[in-house]
Amino acid sequence: MYQYNDFDKAFLAERNRQFRAQVERRIAGNLTEDEFKPLRLMNGLYLQLHAYMLRVAIPYGTLNSAQMDTLALLAEKWDKGYGHFTTRQNIQYNWPKLKDVPDMLDALGEVGMHAIQTSGNTIRNVTADHFAGAAADELEDPRPIAELIRQWSTDHPEFQFMGRKFKIAVSAGEADRAVLKAHDLAVRVVRNDAGETGYQVLVGGGLGRTPMVGKVLNEFLPREDLLPYIEATVSVWNQIGRRDNKYKARIKITVHETGLEEFRAKVEERFESVQPTFSGVDQELLSEIKAHFAPPAFRNAPVTEFENTYNSNPLFRSWVDTNLTEHRAPGYTIVTVSIKKHGQTPGDATAEQMRALAQIARDYGHDELRISHEQNVILPHVHKSDLPAVYAALREADLHTANIGLVSDIIACPGMDYCALATARSIPVAQQIATRFEELKLEHDIGHLQIKISGCINACGHHHVGHIGILGLDRAGVENYQITLGGDATWTAAIGERAGPGFAYDEIVPAIERLVKGYLELREGPEETFLEAYRRLGLAPFKAHLYPEAQANAA
Amino acid sequence: MPRAFTPKVITANALLEGDVIYFTAEDNWSRDLTDAELLIDEAHAQLRLVEASQQVSEVVGAYLADAVAGETGPEPTHFREEFRRTGPSNYFHGKQADAAN
């Protein structure tokens, strides 16, 4: 993975020094909050309901064991012993004190991490497929271009004070695991008919108040055109995007109002003037970056012990069947570690768990870890012969829950338990749904089902693209939950359809139970997933299960 | 017709810790909602908000929040303010833990 060079280290140290001085001036009363707020946001520091919150970027979701150990250190030394992994491959600390934040940032700097541009109207943390570099279905590792985009966008003078934030995702897999179509801009590594590798660019996706599915802006860009093309795109939006209304400022609205054809023409025109300013230095940089992402030295070893354990230990077998994904190297596998134990807060890991994960990565995982937008931790390169030992170590840390892709593997934003923008809680709803389905012992029968919960319309919990989406709102001073059905976060992206009237806080979990049990009755067989059944049948039969009273009244 | 004024308290976050604080009748800040000054007159409430907001080196984001008189002092009327005076529901952290200590 990418190692900071002297320039990067000096840049970060200087930036941290500046922020330390800004914090000091704020505490001394020499900066007002109005002056300080944009500065702290640029450095990932929010003020939430109960405390400050520091959002640290995990660029394209990749980190090594030393970095994970540092995340644990921050949790233990300056927070309450845990951190929250988010849907944008960041980690959030919910309880830092203002005066401690510069020390936290310095500690992060020691291991090449930062909180720059994790907030504010800038280009945010670049996200990627969490199986990048390991997946069997990918053309190449997409992280070198993610790192190139990160370096280009960090402190980019043209893009520090835009009309709104801008989110970029990259992927090279046949399957989309990075929710490409819900991003302002997405880059997909593709191959053309001539067999050349290049980039497909999507634009104008996004969730929030006005959810939209991203559209293809360019079918195939040669490698050297990628960065100038992205720069041209952001530049056009930055110039013509609306600044009169915060809710209409994102690029999805610009593309929608301008029309894709006209927007593309403007980008092409801008590209003509931007492209000559790229002297080729970005391509030199890219080849340097690529060297950092050389695959680890995969080994050959017999997998007999794995097979024996698989056949003799049913708990291990269930975990293997649920949490593993095919790796591109023979004998290897990708392990997804669930941090969604039933009843726990989705995405939260304690400092001890982070250290355990770091140790497992050192011992059995070529020192690599990933954070997924689904709020789990990935060990991307594990040899199958090590799986029994990995499983034992995960059990030790209470990280062995076998529920990846199942009903309890829920995405949930922090909601009104922490977030100042939230209109209702999401965490306890997620906890209760997971606990309920664990009691019912049904989730393995139910199969693949994604529930995604947001505590406000901004949709950090991706509810629009959940097979079942839950949106928490404030209805006349009471928490109320709206259900959407049929959303899809993959290449076949779809925005869920609203099922009907919302449910009160104490009604939402029983409603989800009725809905899922209804699906079990409606499906053609265990091989038909919830989403497939929904696509076959449409909303009506599911609605009958959600609103049995309405059905009874109509009869 | 303008909506009738409902009683309010002034609340904010502390600059250094970030935690929830309330403006008292004695012009200082308390961690406890029951210590807050309950403002029942709109003009007085606006004046107090100006005064509270001037304490820029102590507080961030002062605003008026609905409250009602309870037995031991002001109490929240909306669930958001209930969470702010209690802490999160997934862990025993924040004010609920401070009170227990």
3-class SS string, A174-201 = CCCCCCHHHCCEEEEEEECCCCCEEEEE
Q: ∠ CA(A438), CA(A441), CA(A444), 5° rounding?
A: 100
Name the residue among A29, A51, A431 with its Cβ closest to that of B19: A51
C-alpha distances out from residue A95 to A43, A118, A401, Å: 16, 17, 27
d(CA B40, CA B66): 10
Local confidence pLDDT in tens for the 555 residues of chain A: 899 999 999 999 999 999 999 999 999 999 999 999 999 999 999 999 999 999 999 999 999 999 999 999 999 999 999 999 999 999 999 999 999 999 999 999 999 999 999 999 999 999 999 999 999 999 999 999 999 999 999 999 999 999 999 999 999 999 999 999 999 999 999 999 999 999 999 999 999 999 999 999 999 999 999 999 999 999 999 999 999 999 999 999 999 999 999 999 999 999 999 999 998 899 999 999 999 999 999 999 999 999 999 999 999 999 999 999 999 999 999 999 999 999 999 999 999 999 999 999 999 999 999 999 999 999 999 999 999 999 999 999 999 999 999 999 999 999 999 999 999 999 999 999 999 999 999 999 999 999 999 999 999 999 999 999 999 999 999 999 999 999 999 999 999 999 999 999 999 999 999 999 999 999 999 999 999 999 999 999 999 999 998 767 765
Interchain contact, A477 vs B79, CB within 8 Å = yes
| Chain B environment of A49 (Cβ under 8 Å) | 20, 80, 83-84
Spatial contact of B9 and B37, defined as CB atoms under 8 Å apart:
yes
Distance in Å, alpha carbon of A342 to nearest chain B alpha carbon:
13
User: What value, to the nearest 5°, has the Cα angle with vertex A538 and ends A535 and A539?
Assistant: 130
CATH code of residue A495: 3.30.413.10
Same domain, A203 and A275: yes
- List the single residue in A with minimal CA-CA distance to B66: A477
| Chain B residues closer than 8 Å to A473 by CB | none
Q: Residues of chain B whose C-beta is under 8 A from some C-beta in A?
A: 13, 15-20, 56-57, 60-61, 77-80, 83-84, 87-91, 93-95
Tokens for A81? Answer: 């012993």
Q: A48: which chain B residues are within 8 Å (Cβ-Cβ)?
A: 18
End residue of a domain, out of A291, A315, A341: A291
In a domain, A299, yes or no: no
Specify whether A185 is located in the same domain as A273. Answer: yes
Q: Is A461 within the bounds of a domain? A: yes
Task: Give domain status of residue B24, yes or no.
Answer: yes
Contacts of A348 in chain B (CB under 8 A): 90
**Could B93 and A95 be called an inter-chain contact, meaning their C-beta atoms sit closer than 8 Å?**
yes
- For residue A51, list chain B residues with Cβ-Cβ distance below 8 A: 13, 17-19, 94
Tokens 């009104």, residue located: A416
**Does residue A422 share a domain with residue A388?**
no
Question: Does B13 fall in a domain?
Answer: yes
Which residues in chain B are contacts of A52 at CB distance < 8 A?
18
- The whole-number pLDDT of residue A155 equals 93
A507, two tokens: 């009604």
Check pLDDT > 90 for residue B100. Answer: no
A458 and A542 share a domain?
yes
Instruction: Look at residues B43, B40, B35 and name the one whose alpha carbon lies nearest to residue B11.
Output: B35
Query: 3-class DSSP state for residue A472?
Result: strand
A191 and chain B in contact, CB less than 8 A: no
Across the interface, whether the CB atoms of A428 and B91 are under 8 A apart is answered no
Q: Which residue of B has its CA nearest to A33?
A: B60
The secondary element (H helix, E strand) that includes residue A228 is helix A226-240
- Closest alpha carbon within chain A to B83: A417
Question: Looking at this protein, which amino acid is placed at residue B77?
Answer: T
Cβ separation of B61 and A428 shorter than 8 Å? no
Query: Which residue among A29, A99, A418 sits closest to B57, beta carbon to beta carbon?
Result: A29
C-beta atoms of B18 and A32 within 8 A:
no
Q: Which residues partner with A135 through β-bridges?
A: A327
Same domain, A415 and A281: no
Q: Which residues lie closer than 8 Å to A426 by C-beta, 6 or more apart?
A: A412, A413, A414, A415, A416, A417, A453, A454, A455, A461, A470, A472
Range of the domain at A91: 6-110
* Residue of chain A whose Cα is closest to the Cα of B80: A416
Residue in chain A nearest B16 by alpha carbon: A98
What is the distance in angstroms between the Cα of B44 and the nearest Cα belonging to chain A?
25
**DSSP characters over A287-330:** HHHHHHTPPP-------HHHHHHHHH-HHHHHHHHHHEEEBSST
Chain B residues with CB-CB distance to A98 below 8 A: 15-18
Q: Give me the total of CB pairs closer than 8 Å, taking one residue from chain A and one from chain B.
A: 75
Among A396, A424, A456, where does a domain finish? A396
- Per CB-CB distance under 8 Å, the chain B contacts of A33 are 15, 56, 60-61
DSSP class of A462: -
Task: Name the residue in chain A with its Cα closest to that of B93.
Answer: A80
**CATH assignment at residue A59:** 3.30.70
What is the pLDDT at residue A372? 98
Question: ipTM value of the model?
Answer: 0.96
Chain A residue with minimal CA distance to B60? A33
A97–B56 C-beta distance less than 8 A: no
pLDDT in tens, B52-72: 999 888 999 999 999 999 999
From chain A, the residues in CB contact with B19 under 8 A are 50-51
A80:B19 CB<8 A: no
Cβ distance A417 to B88 less than 8 Å, yes or no, reads yes
Yes or no, beta carbons of B88 and A48 under 8 Å apart: no
B86 assigned to some structural domain: yes
Beta strands A411-412; A451-454: pairing state: parallel
A157/A287 same-domain check: yes
In a domain, A236, yes or no: yes
**Smallest CA–CA separation between B49 and chain A, in Å?**
16
Domain of B12 in residue numbering reads as: 8-90
Could you tell me the pTM of the whole model? 0.96
Tell me which residue has tokens 């029309």.
A259
Question: A199 — phi, psi (to 5°)?
Answer: -130, 135
- Whether residue B95 is contained in a domain is answered as no
Whether residue B1 has pLDDT greater than 70: no
Chain B residues within an 8 Å CB radius of A47: 13, 18, 60-61
**Do A392 and A417 reside in the same domain of the chain?**
no
Contact A33 B60 (CB under 8 A): yes
Say if strands B29-30 and B74-76 run parallel, antiparallel, or are unpaired.
unpaired
What's the structural domain count of chain B? 1
Residues of chain B positioned with their CB less than 8 A from the CB of A425: 83, 89
Asked whether the beta carbons of residue A431 and residue B90 sit closer than 8 angstroms, the reply is yes
B95 contact residues in A (CB cutoff 8 A): 50
Q: What is the pLDDT of residue B37?
A: 98
Contact assignment for B90 to A428 by CB distance below 8 Å: yes
Total structural domains within chain A: 4
Q: Do residues A452 and A349 share a domain?
A: no
Inspect the interface and report whether the beta carbons of A50 and B79 lie closer than 8 Å.
no
* Any domain includes B21: yes
- Interface contact flag, B56 A427, Cβ < 8 Å: no
CATH number of residue A316's parent domain: 3.90.480.20
On whether both A280 and A380 belong to a single domain, the answer is no
Whether B2 is covered by a domain: the verdict is no
Q: Give the residue from A110, A129, A164 where a domain finishes.
A: A110
Q: To the nearest whole number, what is the mean pLDDT of chain B?
A: 95
- The alpha-carbon gap from A391 to the nearest alpha carbon of chain B, in Å, equals 27
The beta-carbon neighbor of B16 closest among A98, A416, A477 is A98
Residue of chain B nearest A427, judged by CA positions: B90
